[in-house]
Chains A and B, each alone.
Chain A
């Protein structure tokens, strides 16, 4: 009846029990609050069933914040463990639990924080920037979001029910095979990655078609905002890379469930094949994350320098080159595999080549600021620290790209410091900059600048303090994923400094959360009274109201050049009559599909086959039913459009 699920799955050690209790109490409080405020109907009608890209974008960011809390708690536990575990006989966490935590930290942060943040911002901004009313496939967009959420929820459930994977965020075989990981951990990982990965593939298709087919009249490819270009490159990478992930994790699951021999040590299987395949996805994946961050900085820097982007065309080509190179470097993740020197040399050189287009981009941003009027707002602060961190981490990346050096520091903390410098200093700071920059656009009020700056300085100092010691530790021979070490190594002081850095980052994140809630609380005072363009931005999203009405633009804009709002000769505005606007109708089907996928993943993780098959049948039935209907649209009549537009104008005048 319940497969492998027994009462034992609910028993945990002290730390985990407290975490579970905290989660359950918070959940109950949240449900009680919603019930008390009688907000269930609102939640269902306005959010859960929505297919509006702006609301889906906001929901992405809400889920990301929750997953970030989980991933960050994991990070803090690891820092505490390593700061205290010099030869300790009774370390803070048991070794099994420690392994679970580093596996969960990596999987959560990459798949459910970085990816989610990226899709969230893309959802919010891309249709506005290209002058469209929605994405190409609004229903599919909702399905993507709910699949993403289902995957994230599976990771959260693994905290309370049973154990998570202990084989790292990429679950290398043979450790992740059924022989060495017989329990449910790897299955939790695999199902959560599969479900959210399919969602990401759908998002990739959706945004590619949106960008290619839904640009407003006059916006040719080379007149697209640079963030749209960066997203286009990232989405092409998603389309090429994510099916590899699906197939590879699928084969690992077949090994585990059906006793196949793809990656097993016996039976003629080949574990190294898994490494190759997973990194053929994994390396493009990090560029999928960084390219949109590059795009965000390319929007932020010109706006706050009051100067057009330097070298637009070279920026576009640099991103295309990065996208192509991303598929030619995967082997640098395992130079020590024992490939021939020629193979290693090829991949080493290809990796170093990536520095060229990246350097082009850095210099383009610097030249954009040159003789511009630079405003030191918080998005720009994120940019400054990005340049520093990204350059340092980039240069250590060049070191790692040289196979002889890599043999010395492979799988050491040097590597950990390198990729955290890239992912936090590059990707996350980029998304923070974008979040702050576009916040007034999709809420209509500003985020508190003072608190935001404080958060920035905590993050900046904390990041340096947490990861610079890891570079040194890496050189001293500390490998990654250590749950304890000998005191005679002399590593402990550096680990303690790294933990202090973690604490400072914690305060940064705390201030960010406080700043967010404070800004929402004080939204009346912080209102954007400029009519939707507070920063004097130059792209189309600033041409509509803040927050944008459901149809985004009452009239589809027409552009005739790059940076339309800074145009010298904009297309003539004619007095036009409002028209009826057709938008796709809201539907709960996407939510049902996501929920069923989550239950399906849970059921197969615990080998409750009847439930899994039932869910699968349900999903299939829902898809067939939904695709057999006539497509429904709701119509916003010209009269309603006029009323909405006038209400904005009125609010403008009273402010």
Chain B
């Protein structure tokens, strides 16, 4: 049980050939597969970043980023997400040491921080919308809402996944399967954190300059 939870394990020799059998190495296969999926997601975000870069000056008489963005709020969002990444890492670390309860607690903290991030983001969207600056107003706002909104959508799916993870950990405990899913979730969550750093830099920081 403990052995199988180690992340970087080498496959056992195959009984027929005496050589390492690639078919048994489920963990690293899933890990690489998910990592490659994250890269496809990264390219999806890259496309949205490029679109934002091309369209962010096309305000069509509406407000620009300088008029709209509040750095305080964006900084709050950044902090919430960065700390949620730390706690997510702690949840995995606790799982590696077979401490189920600690892992669950850290996962709970991660979800709370993620929810607070999402609340701030939705509040910002609602704020812009209620001022009359919706995505219909200009190409700049379309690309802003789409880029940041796609990230928010990913966060929503991530939170759903985290919720399901809590359920699985409570129901199944720490098994090879649930441990692997937890590690993959943490990969996903760190990736979203990374994307947010780019959004914070390119959209918010450079937007208010």
Distance in Å: Cβ of B126 to nearest Cβ of chain A: 16
Within 8 A of B (CB), among A594-622: 620
- Name the one of B17, B39, B51, B175 contacting A558, with C-beta atoms under 8 angstroms: B17
By a CB distance below 8 angstroms, the chain A residues around B55 are 262, 268-270, 273
A216 to B137, CA, bound (A): 57
- Name the one of A205, A246, A267, A624 contacting B139, with C-beta atoms under 8 angstroms: A267
Kindly state whether residue B22 has any CB partner on chain A within 8 Å: yes
Kindly state whether residue B76 has any CB partner on chain A within 8 Å: no
Contacts A209-B29, A270-B54, A273-B55 given; indicate if A239 touches B60 (C-beta within 8 A). no
A132 to B164, CA, bound (A): 33
- Name the one of B15, B142, B177 contacting A261, with C-beta atoms under 8 angstroms: B142
Most B CB contacts (10 A, CB to CB) among A213, A218, A277, A627 go to A213
Asked if residues A133 and B23 are in contact (CB atoms below 8 Å), the reply is yes
Kindly state whether residue A244 has any CB partner on chain B within 8 Å: yes
- Name the one of B39, B41, B50, B142 contacting A260, with C-beta atoms under 8 angstroms: B142
A73 to B50, CA, bound (A): 39
A273 to B55, CA, bound (A): 9
Distance in Å: Cβ of B142 to nearest Cβ of chain A: 4
By a CB distance below 8 angstroms, the chain A residues around B32 are 209, 212-213
- Name the one of A206, A218, A266 contacting B19, with C-beta atoms under 8 angstroms: A218
A244 to B60, CA, bound (A): 26
Asked if residues A556 and B14 are in contact (CB atoms below 8 Å), the reply is yes
Most A CB contacts (10 A, CB to CB) among B22, B29, B135 go to B22
Asked if residues A261 and B23 are in contact (CB atoms below 8 Å), the reply is no
Kindly state whether residue A243 has any CB partner on chain B within 8 Å: yes
Within 8 A of A (CB), among B57-88: 58-60
By a CB distance below 8 angstroms, the chain B residues around A255 are 142
A624 to B171, CA, bound (A): 14
Asked if residues B47 and A244 are in contact (CB atoms below 8 Å), the reply is yes
Distance in Å: Cβ of A561 to nearest Cβ of chain B: 16
- Name the one of B22, B43, B142, B175 contacting A262, with C-beta atoms under 8 angstroms: B142
Within 8 A of A (CB), among B159-191: 160, 164, 167-168, 172, 175, 177, 181
Kindly state whether residue B129 has any CB partner on chain A within 8 Å: no
Kindly state whether residue A319 has any CB partner on chain B within 8 Å: no
Asked if residues B23 and A132 are in contact (CB atoms below 8 Å), the reply is yes
Kindly state whether residue A650 has any CB partner on chain B within 8 Å: no
Asked if residues B177 and A630 are in contact (CB atoms below 8 Å), the reply is yes
In the complex, the chain A residue whose C-beta lies closest to that of B59 is A268
Distance in Å: Cβ of B50 to nearest Cβ of chain A: 8
Kindly state whether residue A555 has any CB partner on chain B within 8 Å: yes
**Interface digits, A204-219 against B, CB 8 Å rule (1 contact, 0 not)?**
1110110011111110
Kindly state whether residue A312 has any CB partner on chain B within 8 Å: no
- By size class, the interface of chain B is 35 or more
- Name the one of A212, A268, A631 contacting B138, with C-beta atoms under 8 angstroms: A268
Kindly state whether residue A201 has any CB partner on chain B within 8 Å: yes
Kindly state whether residue B146 has any CB partner on chain A within 8 Å: yes
A239 to B40, CA, bound (A): 6
By a CB distance below 8 angstroms, the chain A residues around B3 are none
**Interface digits, B1-44 against A, CB 8 Å rule (1 contact, 0 not)?**
00000000000001111011111010011001100110111011
In the complex, the chain B residue whose C-beta lies closest to that of A213 is B29
By a CB distance below 8 angstroms, the chain A residues around B59 are 268
Kindly state whether residue A31 has any CB partner on chain B within 8 Å: no
Distance in Å: Cβ of A129 to nearest Cβ of chain B: 14
Asked if residues A267 and B33 are in contact (CB atoms below 8 Å), the reply is no
- Name the one of B60, B137, B167 contacting A628, with C-beta atoms under 8 angstroms: B167
- Name the one of B23, B25, B140 contacting A556, with C-beta atoms under 8 angstroms: B23
In the complex, the chain A residue whose C-beta lies closest to that of B14 is A556
Most A CB contacts (10 A, CB to CB) among B19, B20, B28, B167 go to B19
In the complex, the chain A residue whose C-beta lies closest to that of B62 is A268
Kindly state whether residue B48 has any CB partner on chain A within 8 Å: yes
By a CB distance below 8 angstroms, the chain B residues around A136 are 29, 33
Asked if residues B23 and A240 are in contact (CB atoms below 8 Å), the reply is no
**Interface digits, B95-108 against A, CB 8 Å rule (1 contact, 0 not)?**
00000000000000
By a CB distance below 8 angstroms, the chain A residues around B110 are none
Contacts A244-B47, A269-B139 given; indicate if A214 touches B19 (C-beta within 8 A). no
Kindly state whether residue A1 has any CB partner on chain B within 8 Å: no
- Name the one of A215, A624, A628 contacting B22, with C-beta atoms under 8 angstroms: A215
Distance in Å: Cβ of A275 to nearest Cβ of chain B: 12
In the complex, the chain B residue whose C-beta lies closest to that of A553 is B16
Kindly state whether residue A28 has any CB partner on chain B within 8 Å: no
28 CB-based A-B contacts, threshold 8 Å: A132-B22, A132-B23, A137-B33, A214-B22, A217-B22, A239-B40, A239-B43, A242-B40, A243-B41, A248-B47, A260-B135, A260-B142, A260-B145, A260-B146, A262-B51, A262-B55, A262-B146, A267-B60, A267-B142, A270-B54, A270-B55, A270-B58, A273-B55, A555-B16, A627-B164, A630-B175, A630-B177, A631-B177
Cβ-closest 3 pairs across A and B: A268-B58, A268-B139, A268-B60
Interface residues of A (CB under 8 A from B): 132-133, 136-137, 201, 204-206, 208-209, 212-218, 239-240, 242-244, 246-248, 251, 254-255, 258-262, 266-270, 273, 277, 555-556, 558, 576, 579, 620, 624, 627-628, 630-631
